[in-house]
Chains A and B, each alone.
Chain A
Amino acid sequence: VDKFSALGSSQKRENTWQPFHSLHAPPKPSELTLSALVAAGAHFGHSKALMNPHYAPFAYGTRAGVVLIDLDKTLPHIRRAANVVRGVAARGGTIVFIGTRPELAPAVRKAAHRMSYNAYHIGEKWKPGTLTNKHSLFGFDVVRSTKIVPDLAVFLNPLHNMSAIRECTLEHIPTIGVVDSNVDPRIVMYPIPANDDSIRTLELIAGLLSIAGRDGIE
């Protein structure tokens, strides 16, 4: 319904952000802006008392007892992670998107499907032993014929997937993770300091990285 164009507004449904855009129409990594991150709420950290001491480089400061994440550091970290994804995908590597909350399942699924092949998603619990006990979980035939160990793991909530991160380190898999202020950023290889409570932020980051992966495949 177009109410305001007669009054001089040039904003229409086609050229404004709609809620479904965060999942279905994310920006390219090269087009990401600080204001997009702020709009998604990526700068909100957790309480000051819960801040991990190793997170200090990524914290801009605190306000009202809440840590604010320095988005001037987030942006280059996202670009670096996108380059990693693009490089892995271009060399034919397999990438797993992991987001184990129910709200994140559509985001990781969409990210995996956006890359036409070599991309996988885990929207529910990571099965412990997927990488370290693969013969029990998948069977001997599958292990012999299929490449089970991926080349890159992207975690949208690394704090709840510590066993998965541990398996990745044991199998020497590089990891990308969205780290919030209560998380030690050293647990993943390429941290992205951002708010992990905001679904919009995580959909944005998953979408960005999957677009980078898609570009790498082409």
Chain B
Amino acid sequence: MRRESRVERSTSDMAGGNRFYFPTKAPESPAFYTGRAAFMDTVDTLERAISHARRILSARQLLPVPDFARETFPATKPQWKGMGNMFNVVGTRMRPKNYKKITSLLNQLAECYNVAHVGDAPSVARATKNVLDMFGRVDAPIEDLEGQKKPVTIDDAGRAYARGRRKEASARVWVIPTKTTDNPSVVMDPEFFHEKILKSYRKITELPTTSVLINNVPLAQYFVNPADRERVLRPLKLTGLLGAFNVFALSRGGGTTGQSGAVAHGLAQALAAHVPEADLILRRALLIRRDPRVVERKKAGRAKARKKYTWVKR
């Protein structure tokens, strides 16, 4: 059935023309048949911008950059939009590989911008800045933490929050100083505690005490096994901070050993945030490290991970 449409007629009469009777128009993007037209067009735009900028800067003798000029460039790496926000600029969702391709091109263009800015080529600087601003991240963090672990921070109420994991268990641990002193670092000094003990010789209740709550249950009640209790308190004992901090943890998953290990892991990280001198001690004791030991998988041809079936001669 022939359809009379508002759209202009297809101009192709060649073999290989339309099978349908509907008039249609040719695809917009030259990269239509790659299946990733929006991404390829963005890559093409950026590559052309880079080659154009480099050509002008080379003609102005600003490229290649001499070493003394390179030192004046900003030290921080530029921050780009995340994969989610980049979708709005590019037009399609991207795989990490494609996202990295775009960010590497943007870094090259940012280098051109730096050269143009420092070398006084205002037209190139302006043009590249316009392109870069489309992709730049608005809420950039102050420090460049790419590839590094996010540091544990202490909030306004004095709590340090850290996550710990061991085997299949995970724990969320909040650590807050007890009301002994304002400066937790002083607590590491043995003289401090001796003085405190001498002064409160008759008032045992004045001694600073660590209270540990796990899933809102006291330590002694939650972990019946003494080994688990010792494991939780080990970070405090090693650093001599037993009595200086209170611990509140929420743990899930795993069993008793896993949960106690997870709480200890989170506790160690939070302690390191409160008392920087404790960080080295805890690192040497391997308490900051996430224990990588997990249950080994069962293998084909064996009863368990290592247990083999009974050997038969024939």
| Cα(A19)–Cα(B300), bound, Å | 58
The reply to whether the CB of A178 lies closer than 8 angstroms to some CB of chain B is no
A150 CB contacts on chain B under 8 angstroms: 16, 33
Give chain A interface residues in 74-132, CB to chain B under 8 Å: 88, 91-94, 96, 109, 112-113, 117-124, 126-127, 130
The reply to whether the CB of B283 lies closer than 8 angstroms to some CB of chain A is no
Interface contact B14-A147, CB-CB below 8 Å = no
Prevailing SS type, chain B contact patch: loop
Q: Tell me whether A146 and B25 are in contact in the complex, defined as CB-CB below 8 angstroms, given that A91-B14, A151-B12, A174-B16 are known contacts.
A: yes
Cβ proximity bits B1-32 to A, threshold 8 Å, 1 near / 0 not: 00000010011111111111010111100111
Interface contact A149-B19, CB-CB below 8 Å = yes
Interface contact A127-B35, CB-CB below 8 Å = yes
Distance (whole angstroms) from the CB of B23 to the closest CB of chain A: 9
| Cα(A142)–Cα(B269), bound, Å | 54
The reply to whether the CB of A63 lies closer than 8 angstroms to some CB of chain B is no
The reply to whether the CB of A3 lies closer than 8 angstroms to some CB of chain B is no
Interface contact A147-B26, CB-CB below 8 Å = yes
Interface contact A120-B31, CB-CB below 8 Å = yes
Interface contact B31-A121, CB-CB below 8 Å = yes
The reply to whether the CB of B44 lies closer than 8 angstroms to some CB of chain A is yes
Interface contact A123-B34, CB-CB below 8 Å = yes
B25 CB contacts on chain A under 8 angstroms: 145-147
A168 CB contacts on chain B under 8 angstroms: 16
Give chain A interface residues in 125-172, CB to chain B under 8 Å: 126-127, 130, 137, 144-152, 168, 171-172
Distance (whole angstroms) from the CB of A184 to the closest CB of chain B: 22
A126 CB contacts on chain B under 8 angstroms: 33
Q: Tell me whether A93 and B34 are in contact in the complex, defined as CB-CB below 8 angstroms, given that A120-B27, A146-B26 are known contacts.
A: no
Interface contact A92-B24, CB-CB below 8 Å = no
B10 CB contacts on chain A under 8 angstroms: 147
Interface contact B16-A149, CB-CB below 8 Å = yes
- The one of B17, B22, B31, B34 that contacts A149, using a Cβ cutoff of 8 Å: B17
| Cα(A159)–Cα(B278), bound, Å | 66
Q: Tell me whether A96 and B14 are in contact in the complex, defined as CB-CB below 8 angstroms, given that A144-B22, A146-B26, A148-B27 are known contacts.
A: no
Central interface residue in B13, B22, B24, by most chain A CB within 10 Å: B24
A172 CB contacts on chain B under 8 angstroms: 15-16
A187 CB contacts on chain B under 8 angstroms: none
The reply to whether the CB of A173 lies closer than 8 angstroms to some CB of chain B is yes
| Cα(A126)–Cα(B32), bound, Å | 11
Q: Tell me whether A94 and B26 are in contact in the complex, defined as CB-CB below 8 angstroms, given that A149-B17, A149-B19, A173-B15 are known contacts.
A: yes
B18 CB contacts on chain A under 8 angstroms: 147, 149
Distance (whole angstroms) from the CB of A33 to the closest CB of chain B: 29
B14 CB contacts on chain A under 8 angstroms: 88, 91, 93, 151-152, 174
B11 CB contacts on chain A under 8 angstroms: 91-93
Interface contact A151-B16, CB-CB below 8 Å = yes
Q: Tell me whether A119 and B30 are in contact in the complex, defined as CB-CB below 8 angstroms, given that A149-B17, A151-B17 are known contacts.
A: yes
A124 CB contacts on chain B under 8 angstroms: 34
**Chain A residue nearest to B35 in the complex (CB):** A127
Distance (whole angstroms) from the CB of B59 to the closest CB of chain A: 14
| Cα(A96)–Cα(B30), bound, Å | 9
| Cα(A96)–Cα(B35), bound, Å | 13
| Cα(A60)–Cα(B11), bound, Å | 42
Interface contact A171-B30, CB-CB below 8 Å = no
B34 CB contacts on chain A under 8 angstroms: 121-124, 127
**Chain A residue nearest to B29 in the complex (CB):** A120
Interface contact A130-B33, CB-CB below 8 Å = yes
Interface contact B27-A112, CB-CB below 8 Å = no
Using a CB–CB distance below 8 Å, which chain A residues touch chain B?
88, 91-94, 96, 109, 112-113, 117-124, 126-127, 130, 137, 144-152, 168, 171-174
Beyond A121-B30, A174-B16, list 9 extra A-B contacts (CB 8 Å). Answer: A93-B14, A113-B30, A123-B34, A144-B24, A147-B27, A151-B17, A168-B16, A172-B15, A173-B15
Q: What are 25 A-to-B residue pairs whose CB atoms are below 8 Å?
A: A91-B12, A93-B12, A94-B12, A94-B27, A96-B33, A109-B44, A113-B30, A117-B26, A120-B27, A120-B32, A123-B34, A127-B33, A130-B35, A146-B24, A146-B27, A147-B24, A149-B16, A149-B17, A151-B14, A152-B14, A152-B16, A172-B15, A172-B16, A173-B15, A174-B15
**What are the nearest 10 A-B pairs in CB distance?**
A92-B11, A173-B16, A112-B30, A147-B24, A151-B14, A172-B15, A127-B35, A172-B16, A122-B33, A94-B26
